[in-house]
Amino acid sequence: MSTTQNATHSKVLIIGSGPAGYTAAIYAARANLNPILVTGTEPGGQLMITTEVENYPGFADVIQGPWLMEQMRAQAEHVGTQMISDYIKDVDLTSRPYKATGDDGTVYTGDTIVIATGAKARWLGLDSEYEFRGKGVSACATCDGFFFRGKEVAIVGGGNTAVEEALFLTNFCSKVTLIHRRDTLRAEKILQERLFANDKMEFLWDTTVEEVIGNEQGMTGLRLNNVKTGEKSTFDAEGLFVAIGHDPATELFKDKLEMDELNYIITKPDSTETSVPGVYAAGDVTDHIYRQAVTAAGMGCMAALEADRFLATLESAHKVEAAE
């Protein structure tokens, strides 16, 4: 799958192609660092399944997620980024230049690496859930809640994310029903107190979603199952938000970079630098709080600027050594 005739060494090797990766590429290319970007199996990342984007600065009208990613990719290529369609299956961060091995064995090397492999929302795993993604089903209330103004929606989950997103949805929706498979929440108590005090909230305990139902226009409701009684029911709702967590794409870097208990890559404060000098992490692969396209893009910018500074420092040190 890789383009083997292309150069495989770069001053900046970028792994991943969402907003963070593309923005890192734009800034690195404009700094004459001749970056190589390896796209991975899902070029464009999570925005490729986001039908409508209304909160990315610079666009008065609603835009499409895939279109935004196409524009970012085109801009990165226009300023000089070399795009390679490959999937990185192994990395060696023990010595510079750092090495990344592609799916067919091609070895890419970089004096620095920007990791922008992103994260994926956990889904319920229902065929009907996939069918209505972008037509009522979402995994990001912050991204899509605004589209459900004055509507009744449901949200699935029981942790901090579910509670925070449920509270966010009450700013727009006429009613928000939290569906949880247990009879208590795992979220922090202070968040629970705010949730239970909100008069727009309703709750369905000991309940799971078995099917999303709807028509060509979009989702109209849910088929539910009570896990204690086995009772089946139908629930009317125009939106379903799945808030059962995210999984960062960091398996490749396990035991090679410092990570937190959720397997997100840890970076230094106010920086994208990881535990290995010259290796940077940007976007959802290191951010489990904001998870926005605009914050990912900002971190991509930071990573490229930090990589540029790192390389400049190395070059100065080499010049001093040569002079001695």
Residue of 86, 92, 111, 143 marked active site: 143
Q: Is 140 a catalytic residue?
A: yes
Which has the closest alpha carbon to 224: 178, 187, 186?
178
The reply to whether 143 belongs to the active site is yes
Q: Give the span between the Cα atoms of 32 and 218, in whole angstroms.
A: 47
- Of residues 174, 152, 175, 178, the one with CA closest to residue 165: 178
DSSP code per residue over 128-189: HHHHTBTTTEES-HHHHGGGGTT-EEEEE--SHHHHHHHHHHTTT-SEEEEE-SSSS--S-H
- 61, 92, 103, 140: which one is catalytic? 140
CA distances from 273 to 120, 299, 304 (A): 22, 11, 11
From 61, 86, 104, 144, active-site residue: 144
How far apart (Å, rounded) are the C-alpha atoms in residues 139 and 302? 27
- Active centre residues (catalytic): 140, 143-144
